[in-house]
Amino acid sequence: MILEVKKYPDKILRKKGAVIKEVDREIKELAHSMVDTMYFYKGVGLAAPQVGESKRIVVVDIGDGPEIYLNPKIVKKSGKAILEEGCLSFPDIFLNIKRAHKIQLEALSLKGRLIKKKVEGIAACVLQHEIDHLDGILMIDRLSLGQKIQRRIKDLFPRKSQP
């Protein structure tokens, strides 16, 4: 089932997601609907708050098929990467965001099993972005002060197009 993607400034995007205590039918259905929604909107990741559910669930697919993580947490980070990120909750906006290049992730699977995984590159950035959503952190919160000033100046003084 395709779910409605909440757009900024919807208040649920700022709420911290609740920990999943039991992997029941409702959680499995939500996770599968999130995967369908992610594909429908051509995203590479989606977090439950983005579909109006204040729960700690993320789904991602960076080319190897869908992955579902319940209660994901990053237990280790290293390196730095700056990649252009988009977000289904901020349509048509792309920002260069600095994140860790490598992460170590722990989460539960839909079968309730512990997942431990080392991820790097784009996959690490996507997971960090989605896990941020579970804590009410948005990509605009990750902009540096310089980026914020630069964007504000562009808004105040747009370039005039040449005739």
Active site residues: 130
Nearby residues of 2 by Cβ (< 8 Å), 6 or more positions away? 33, 36, 37, 40
- Is the Cβ–Cβ distance between 134 and 16 less than 8 Å? yes
Q: Among 143, 116, 51, which Cα is nearest to 88's?
A: 51
**Residue 23 to residue 113: CA distance in whole angstroms:** 10
Residue whose entry in the numeric block shows the structure tokens 């209660």:
71
Q: Which two tokens stand for residue 117?
A: 């995984």
Q: Look at the alpha carbons of 113, 118, 123, 124 in this order and tell me if their dihedral is positive or negative.
A: positive
**In b/e form, how buried is each residue of 56-76, taking b as 16+ CB within 10 angstroms?**
bbbbbbbeeeebbbbbbebee
